[in-house]
Structure 1
Amino acid sequence: MAQSQFDRFLTEATYQDPETGTTLSRDAFYGLYTSWCNVPQETPQAEHAFWDAMAKLVDPGNPLRMTGPAAADYILTSYPALV
């Protein structure tokens, strides 16, 4: 079975970090997704579809952190003074 766009996003742009106990905020999580879509120029799904999928795919007890090119894109987009 082919991976969904959301599965690929989680695999490529996030990692579980139970050591810190912190996780991405709701805004940062969706922002990371849109940045992940921007990097390979994929069309993001509707926000409600994103949240529906994340409710099924992400265990709220496992803190997520951002990683990879999408993380860099998100940070540079969110904080333009860094450029």
Structure 2
Amino acid sequence: MSAPNHRQFLSECLERVPAKQPGLSDDELYGLYLSWCLLNARKPGPIASLWAAVRQEGYLQQHRGGRTEWPDLCMTGPAAVDYILASRPSLL
């Protein structure tokens, strides 16, 4: 397995959404990243390097009501489908 390319992950799996939409939680973003790594035969890197890459792209992390989230972000692409189906088996 090759090392992850965070920029590629970010461009393939994340889109900006209007501010009125809920953002992604840390768990959702990390789960999406793991799905992307699995689908692309990549070994996940340290979580700290993922957060640093997300911040470098200009996304801001916020704390709201006891939850850490990345506002203005939504999932897209095959990794999003994989993550959603894996985390919600009742949808099958």
More strand by share: 2
Q: TM-score, normalised by structure 2?
A: 0.75
**Partner residue, 1:12:** 12
CA-atom RMSD in angstroms: 2.0
Report how many residues are paired. 80
User: For the structure 1 residues 30 and 58, does the alpha-carbon distance in structure 2 shift closer, same or farther, using more than 3 Å as the test?
Assistant: farther
Task: Return the alpha-carbon distance in structure 2 between the equivalents of residues 19 and 48 of structure 1.
Answer: 25
Q: Is the 8 A contact 2:22 2:72 kept in 1?
A: yes
Shift of 1:50: 1.3
- Give me the identity figure in percent: 39
Shift of 1:19: 5.0
Shift of 1:39: 1.0
Moved beyond 4 Å, runs of 4+ = none
Q: Which runs of 5+ in 2 are unaligned?
A: 62-70
Q: Which amino acid in the other structure matches residue 78 of structure 1?
A: S
**Partner residue, 1:75:** 84
Q: TM-score, normalised by structure 1?
A: 0.82
Shift of 1:44: 1.0
Q: Which amino acid in the other structure matches residue 31 of structure 2?
A: G
User: For the structure 1 residues 27 and 76, does the alpha-carbon distance in structure 2 shift closer, same or farther, using more than 3 Å as the test?
Assistant: same
CA displacement, residues 50-76 of structure 1 (integer Å, 9 cap, x when unaligned) = 122222223228611001100000001
CA displacement, residues 7-40 of structure 1 (integer Å, 9 cap, x when unaligned) = 1111100100125332111110111111111111
